[in-house]
Structure formats: structure tokens, C-alpha cells
Amino acid sequence: MAPNDTGADDVVAIAARERIALVFGVALLAAGLIFVGAVLPAEYGVDPLGTGRRLGLTAIGEVQKGLDAFAATRPDAPSDVPTIVAAERPFQQESREFTLGARESFEYKYRLEKGQALLYSWTATGPVNYELHAEPDGAPRGYAESYEKVNGVQNAAGTLTAPFSGIHGWYWENTTDAPVTIALSAAGFFKMSHEFRKDQAPTTKIYP
């Protein structure tokens, strides 16, 4: 009886393995059909069976191709320019007016940390020469880095992103024989501003 029982057990085991193999094979075949008939047309625009076109899946693949092409050709942003710069102080905004006498000049600058942005706009009642520049922390006296220098204009606007910590702002010069008023609007996370005029002590404003 024992040998016969063993043989029966073997037959049952073999049949079970065959059923498992059959189920696995069917599942694998189904997965392959889904991949070829749906995934390839939708994800890659490849439609060997024509099912993607009939089901409208190839349109999805074309959209994805366009997105991938744009991502591949998009110029990367400079690695040294952060996307987000956290601020630990309140947002500041102010509007100021400065009067320049005939042939006078002066400077007005904001204290900015590296990566912080300054939004600004200014207008003048007459043509002026100006330079947008900065003095990095630790620079020797008299050193400055120029961003923009233009003569004979009455307005400018833009966004300055500080490449280093220091004071950033403008030098204005009135080259006419009449007084000129400059109206400045600025916003950002600056902590202080400085005004420099010839033959006068610098003045500093500290923001909360």
C-alpha cells in the first residue's frame, strides 16, 4: 500500500505544479498583452497591435513625448541661483523721494543677504546718470561691483538678486542746472538702508 500511496501523491503534486505553471503562464501572457496593447501606446507612442489607436491611447503617448522633449531641451537654471530663499525677518516695502540740486549726486543702498531679491522702481523729474552697484561685505573701502550704468534717463525698474551679502543700490547724478526729484519704490527683506551724500555724514535707517 505504501508504494501506491507515494505514487498517487506524486501525481497530485505534479498536477498541482502544472496548474500553477499554467496560471502563471496565463498571467504572464495577460501582462504582456496589456503592456503591448496599452502601456506602450500610452507611455511611448508605440502601437504594434493597433489597439492604442483604437482606444485613443496613442494621443497620450504623443503628449508625453512632447513633455519629454521639452524637459530634455529646457536650459537648466544656474546652479548658484536658489529657487527659494527663506527669510527670518518681515517683508519690507517703502516709497522715498530724494531731491538733487543742480550738479549734485548721491547714493542710496539697501543691506541684502546673499540670494535675497529687491524689487524696485524709480522715476526722476529730469534726466540723470545712474549706476546700480554693490559693495560686498569685507571689501576694501572704495571697492564696488557694478550691475548697470546708464546716462541721461528718467526711470528704471527691475528685480535685483544679491549675488553676495552686502549693500546694494544706486548712485544718481543730476547733470542739469535745475533741481531733480527722484521717487523710489522698493520692496524686499532688507534690514537697513544707507544714504550717502557728498560732504555729509552717512545716514542709516533700520527696519523692524
pLDDT in tens, 19-34: 777 767 777 766 666 6
Instruction: Tell me what pLDDT residue 171 has.
Output: 97
Residue 30 is predicted with a pLDDT of 64
Check residue 112 and give its pLDDT: 95
User: pLDDT at position 178, please?
Assistant: 97
Sign for the CA dihedral angle at 16, 18, 22, 24 comes to positive
Closest CA to 184 of 163, 154, 164: 154
pLDDT for residue 71 = 66
Q: What are the residue ranges spanned by the domains of the chain?
A: 2-73, 92-206
Q: What is the pLDDT of residue 81?
A: 62
pLDDT of 180 reads 98
User: CA–CA separation, 27 vs 30, rounded Å?
Assistant: 5
Q: What is the pLDDT of residue 133?
A: 97
Instruction: Decide: helix, strand or coil at residue 25.
Output: helix
What's the one-letter identity of residue 74?
R
- In the prediction, which pLDDT does 14 show? 73
Write the CATH number of the domain with boundaries 92-206.
2.60.120.380
Per DSSP, the three-state class of 116 is coil
CA distance 81 to 116: 10
Ordered per-residue pLDDT tens for the chain, 208 residues: 445 555 666 666 677 777 777 767 777 766 666 665 665 666 556 666 666 566 665 556 666 666 667 667 766 655 566 678 888 889 999 999 999 999 999 999 999 999 999 999 999 999 999 999 999 999 998 899 999 999 999 999 999 999 999 999 999 999 999 999 999 999 999 999 999 999 899 999 999 8
